[in-house]
Structure 1
């Protein structure tokens, strides 16, 4: 049976600030992120299985990514918890804003690494995460490939 890659795309809005950065991104700002999730596996060959012919049901992949990435990060603001941005984060939370504190500088590069770890933990054993592409702007994106890691 052939090995097949399938990809599902997602969109979400997230704010962030890069502490210590020497450009405009040190300011709180946001992006309309586009996330492409590619998994790899072989189509199910059991004709009695309702998922016959699928590597993974696109709906099942959607549920994993939506629950662990999109629903968490959409319309939230991400800050590195090891910076003075924690004070701003606490004030925003007190005012009812969704804030995520992470262990890393919230660049696209680090976010895509975080997303890969979160998604891998929830995939069925027969499915492997192949790659992620996190597009921050129309012309800028970060990619993560399992083969590189």
Structure 2
């Protein structure tokens, strides 16, 4: 069998509150979201046939990244305006640092702020 690179995706949710600074719409007021985060990694399967164990990926993302923002007021956490775009870029940076020490590459990140609104960051966007 030919072995090629395979993409794996894990979905997470977290809850946070924020308000948008210097914004004239409804989001200038404090409000919350249940965010949905989709992380896609790519790599060659190892000797066990895994690109990365889903449980290891879950532990890495939840324990080292999401715990810092889950059930938090994001304006107190970040030194930037916590828009979905900026939170996504922060998540990309934090996850890329942790994935760097693996045999995988971070390929794509999708952050849903509402059931109908999301941002996407692709590896090629960050090169």
Instruction: Output the aligned Cα RMSD.
Output: 1.0
| Secondary structure class of the residue paired with 2:24 | coil
Q: Does 1:62 align with 2:82?
A: no
Structure-1 residue corresponding to 2:118:
141
Structure 1 stretches (4+) deviating beyond 3 angstroms? Answer: none
Distance 2:104 2:124 in 1: 15
By how many angstroms is 1:69 displaced?
2.5
Unaligned runs of 5+ in 2: none
By how many angstroms is 1:145 displaced?
0.7
Q: Which structure has the larger Rg over C-alpha atoms?
A: 1
Aligned residues: 123
Distance 1:104 1:40 in 2: 30
TM-score of the pair, normalised by structure 2: 0.92
Distance 1:128 1:19 in 2: 34
Q: Does 1:37 align with 2:39?
A: yes
TM-score of the pair, normalised by structure 1: 0.79
By how many angstroms is 1:68 displaced?
2.5
Deviations 1:70-101 (A, max 9, x none): 2111110111xxxxxxxxxxxxxxxxxxx41x
Distance 1:34 1:125 in 2: 24
